[in-house]
Chains A and B, each alone.
Chain A
């Protein structure tokens, strides 16, 4: 079946429908990872967005359910050059096409994804409609596209109730409170694997409630949308900051911690989404390859002096990739040390978080 991708600026790509055939309006973003499409599909940070994969051959190894980063797919659409007909991998459960159908995610294949990526690079992220309706009314569609905003995404993706994930290691364990702003399973796994009992709290949980449980450390997760949108959550994060509990934050959590301390964030032209971004640790000079998925960034210049120092820097565009809060046992990163998809190089940051919890104050 034919499918169309209509962009906010009026450009139209025509291809073949994959997955669900329903219409979907969303923000169109591109991801440059060559593997890990399932992790992308199920990463809650993509809520409200349709993802274009720049690598043209997608679905080659099918879907391995155990690699899902959350319980369902959150993307609003999936755009690929070519979807594999016959996936091949010893763990493959279903084909990607089948998965998209199961998850009711509409998609399109057979379009020039490189050309589309270049448009997004040059004009910046924009909204788009994926549709199988050949008789669309362009004027009407464009009106809808202009009006579309990703809204209340955190509330949609966050868990509904507090859940405990026990440590996977024998012996005594630390207690970590994970504020779920749209967390990936991998963050939980990175913690439990290292011997932590992880309690996941819904995004709307009050700081007091978390602190009342006496966690040894607090983790702020990744998540979708504009960090400034949820002032209520930022206020709670400020309270967490004021406590003496060690905190480690990733991506959206990192941005909201910065906002809670008076720094500013801004929307990037087309963001960083991929598994190949070099980040430099400003304390050691060492560079790591990181997984990234963000459309907003903390303005380095806005970091409050004496309180927060840049910790990581993006080698390519020199944007802020991490912050250390000087007076506190807090550090935050913009990138994804839990990887999935992407390189496992930065997993040591979870070890550092653990060390921070172990040292007596």
Chain B
């Protein structure tokens, strides 16, 4: 059927800020869908509060709204834009929930707007636990015995019937928030209480635990004509019990016979048919490993993280096809862009093995519980492709960039057999390494299987890798053995380490034996049809498929790898824009990346896509193949920057700032020299290597000091130390990994933080704008509320900032982007950090100023001048709009994580508030971050002694707004002394009722708890903050944030306009 002509204007809803459980995959899906709709001549209106996304670019949709994703805002946009349809299935759970709310309150019907893609009835059938259960029973699809409960007593009664262990799943939450497995009543009550609260509808599903079964997923597509296909199936290496987002996943399934494969495939198709889904859908199954018994775990009636993975794993563009189906097309009418010969109704078949490994944030949250459960904790993921499982696993491990390039894991080497057997029961992110250590120590695969329930096939593959390690160690490294190791994707460096020779020697041997990688194409069809889309992976097989013909100059852009705290979606935005700019300039473009969630790894972004790890060896292989005329590293975050010196050794030209100058910015002594030369002050500081040096330096600078390793991202391992004790703890943690670079110690200055991004062409600089942070220095810039244009910085200071930026850019010979952070303290401007690369703030500033920063930087690195590009150098005229970037956190997902803010970054995403009025912009930003108060008008305010004076003002203002304030004795006393009616509440160690009881009563809107600086956070404060977060209460740990929130509340800016940023 051709497309429905009545659809002319479609509203696409994005997924909002990046949080755990909802990452870049929806930018990928949304961007692809918007392009697919525009291709059909549809007018596309897009709304998403996340400014770091590509989908919110002016060229992706016709009208773009970067506004909070709330029902009220959506209503405003619908009234203004009058779309005829809404496509709700591409923005994850957030978009689905909003669309449902708009449907349920009758707004859509009233304004004659249709949900396309999937109907509200379908969404309800799939998402509402009871409806889903009824539907599955109707069509005879088995689900684990379960009951939807609304109260604790209902839950207890049911669990008595089915027995422990049970799984709990709250309805309508993302990433399995609040869910978990309970082995006993105590755990059961804890999870159930929490789940009932988190669920949008106060429902939790309690079901028989099928932990240990195989977890299998199918990605299915269906059109309005009822044609169904499966795009891909996937098998989780981790059996049921670990959220699929936290599992190692392989595609296609490996241990299923055709009978099992087809049984589940048929079930998935029956389900999608009964639910009447049109578009993409994800069905998760648990399969009993010892029979044909299975259960349907979950159905997502929308594109998902898994569908992004399936798209990248097969080459089948699920989001694009979903958009076309929503317009009325049938699968057999949609051409397959990869082959050009087949149609979307062709099921992909693959001739390689795909492995996905999640990227978990425990390097940032060292105190958080590492245990993996049904609640997702990963911030991102990597994918790898190889012709064997072993190789794919090895490639994925090194793509994670977590200091591990193989299955060898230092921490486990010393463990005894008994200890390993005990530890194998623990399900965490390092289990794969522990398993390999178990195999190394001679524990039988059967024994490991008994404990972990991981299928023996996977264990045998891990064993094959361990055997290969031993062979390398013990046998002669002849051509046969080296080829075997390379087929299993052992990096040269690991082979060298095992063999006790140098990496260069391994490389030489490879050359001698003629062992080099071949590149193969991802073509959706197992080579059955000729494909033209150049989407490649490497493997050590014989025949290389890349035809070496070069017609134009070739530039390679290095991507940013997995999404992690400190390096998020913004770098994908920059990489993609750089590729687009280069293509426009007539270059042949190559992108290298390993993140399946991103736009950059979509097959039609660059001229060639290499889905590969971003390590020197892997990149060198591509360089040898492609012989690029230039490589771009400044847009791929620290991942790409880190490869600079390796690229230089390969003799490749790096476009933009040279490697020496990248070093100069990172190397403390070189950098100090430059500052001195330019006459730019910085907080006093020094570099150290040892604990002893660190202590001495800190004492000389006088506390508080800032301590951090050099060459890091997102302030990794950065701390404010207030005493020797802090320094000692810090040095103990940081020296766990081998330190190639020194540790930096600086005097900590408490001033205003200011940030600029600038483009420099070697002579002139262009500064799109100056941003100011609301939180004072000491809180990581990524976790601060950032205001553009800067509001409270004097004209004089601004001029100094421009001057310093100019001087620094020129002295560092920056070509391209530079990001500089300043502290303005008592009218004095200090430089605290310089990054000769793109930054987190580039996308948002581009959008609000209308200056295409990445495009300009890309032009500049290819030799053009700012003046030639139509821009006057210097600070650009400030926008008449305020744009306020608000950090968004995922603390509720990470049990045990410390939430108080500091120099180490903790936020996972961001949203934007835009308005001509500062207060309205601030209000929108808070709203976008999900901070929507008041509800009960009750707050808790407890501060450390040093902040008591500032707390008085805050207390007074909340009181004036009609809030009831609770405080513990110290704060309460101070407030009362100043005439503020504070209600005393017991500290945790005091008799009940205490602060914790109060929090758990659910009457508190907000907790303001300001902890002491330094590492030694009081345990009480920690408990208070954790409970607040886990009870769903907003918790602020900086008085500056509290001040800003108050300002927003005081100005009562509820009434605001929605702004189409393409008109800015």
Contacts and interface: CB of A to CB of B under 8 A. Distances in A.
Interface in B449-478: 455-457, 460, 464
A317 B341 CA distance: 8
Contact of A32 (B226, B258, B526, B545): B526
Contacts of B345: 278, 280, 287, 289, 315
26 contacts: A32-B349, A34-B349, A35-B258, A36-B261, A38-B257, A39-B258, A55-B252, A60-B457, A86-B456, A88-B457, A90-B291, A111-B542, A114-B520, A117-B526, A117-B528, A121-B528, A276-B346, A277-B346, A278-B345, A280-B332, A287-B330, A315-B342, A342-B258, A342-B262, A344-B265, A345-B266
Contact of B347 (A85, A87, A276, A317): A276
- The 9 tightest CB contacts between A and B, nearest first, are A36-B258, A276-B347, A115-B543, A54-B526, A88-B457, A86-B460, A278-B345, A287-B227, A35-B258
Given A56-B353, A277-B346, A287-B330, A87 B457 contact: yes
Contact of A54 (B227, B255, B528): B528
For chain A, give the interface size range.
Answer: 35 or more
B266 A344 contact: yes
A81 B252 CA distance: 16
Contact of B349 (A55, A67, A344): A55
A112 B542 CA distance: 6
Given A118-B545, A287-B225, A315-B345, 20 more contacts: A32-B526, A34-B252, A35-B252, A39-B258, A55-B349, A61-B256, A67-B257, A67-B259, A88-B456, A111-B542, A112-B541, A118-B527, A274-B349, A275-B347, A275-B349, A277-B346, A280-B332, A343-B265, A343-B266, A344-B266
A84 interface: yes
A288 B257 contact: no
Contacts of B346: 276-278, 315-316
Contacts of A38: 257-258
A81 B530 contact: no
Interface string A1-36: 000000000000000000000000000001011111
B798 interface: no
Nearest to B445: A86
Contacts of A212: none
A340 B258 contact: yes
B387 interface: yes
Interface string A38-64: 110000000000000011110011001
Given A114-B520, A343-B262, A91 B257 contact: yes
B528 A57 contact: no
User: Which secondary structure characterizes the binding site on chain B?
Assistant: loop
Nearest to B257: A61
Nearest to B543: A115
A285 interface: yes
B695 interface: no
Interface string B540-581: 011101000000000000000000000000000000000000
A56 B289 contact: no
Interface string A328-361: 0000000000011111110000000000000000
A345 B542 contact: no
B254 interface: yes
Contacts of A278: 229, 331-332, 343, 345-347
Nearest to B336: A316
Given A81-B387, A316-B343, A289 B229 contact: yes
A285 B350 contact: no
Contacts of A112: 518, 541-543
Interface of A: 30, 32-36, 38-39, 54-57, 60-61, 64, 67, 81-82, 84-91, 111-115, 117-118, 121, 274-278, 280, 285-289, 315-317, 339-345
A296 B389 CA distance: 35
A116 to B, nearest CB: 9
Contacts of A316: 341-343, 346, 529
B351 interface: yes
A88 B389 contact: no
| B226, B258, B342, B389 pick with most chain A CB within 10 angstroms | B258
For chain B, give the interface size range.
Answer: 35 or more
B229 A286 contact: no
B402 interface: no
Contacts of A56: 351-353, 387-388
A87 B545 CA distance: 31
B394 interface: no
Nearest to B252: A34
A82 B345 CA distance: 29
B289 A57 contact: no
B269 interface: yes
Contacts of A117: 351, 526-528
B457 A114 contact: no
Contacts of A345: 228, 266, 269
B347 A114 contact: no
B348 interface: yes
A286 B225 contact: yes
B387 A88 contact: no
A345 B226 CA distance: 12
A66 B528 CA distance: 30
Nearest to B542: A112
A122 B290 CA distance: 43
B249 interface: no
| B331, B346, B388 pick with most chain A CB within 10 angstroms | B346
A278 B352 CA distance: 22
B347 A64 contact: no
| A39, A114, A117 pick with most chain B CB within 10 angstroms | A114
Contacts of B527: 30, 54, 114, 117-118, 121
B831 interface: no
B514 to A, nearest CB: 15
Contacts of B252: 34-35, 55
Interface in B222-275: 225-230, 252-259, 261-262, 265-266, 269
Contacts of B455: 88
Nearest to A85: B460
Contact of B348 (A30, A33, A61, A276): A276
A69 to B, nearest CB: 11
B525 interface: yes
Contacts of A339: 262
Nearest to B544: A115
A34 B526 CA distance: 10
| B254, B464, B526 pick with most chain A CB within 10 angstroms | B526
A287 B332 CA distance: 7
Given A90-B291, A117-B526, A341 B350 contact: no
Interface in B350-369: 350-353
A286 B257 contact: no
Contacts of B348: 276
B528 A285 contact: no
Contacts of A33: 258, 349
Nearest to B226: A286
A12 to B, nearest CB: 12
Nearest to A317: B341
A278 B227 CA distance: 10
A114 B543 contact: yes
B259 A54 contact: no
A347 to B, nearest CB: 9
Nearest to B530: A121
A57 B460 CA distance: 13
| B261, B353, B529 pick with most chain A CB within 10 angstroms | B261
Nearest to B223: A287
A60 to B, nearest CB: 5
A60 B455 CA distance: 11
| B252, B259, B350 pick with most chain A CB within 10 angstroms | B259
Contacts of B343: 278, 315-316
Nearest to B527: A117
| B227, B256, B290, B353 pick with most chain A CB within 10 angstroms | B227
Contacts of B269: 345
Contacts of B262: 35, 339, 341-344
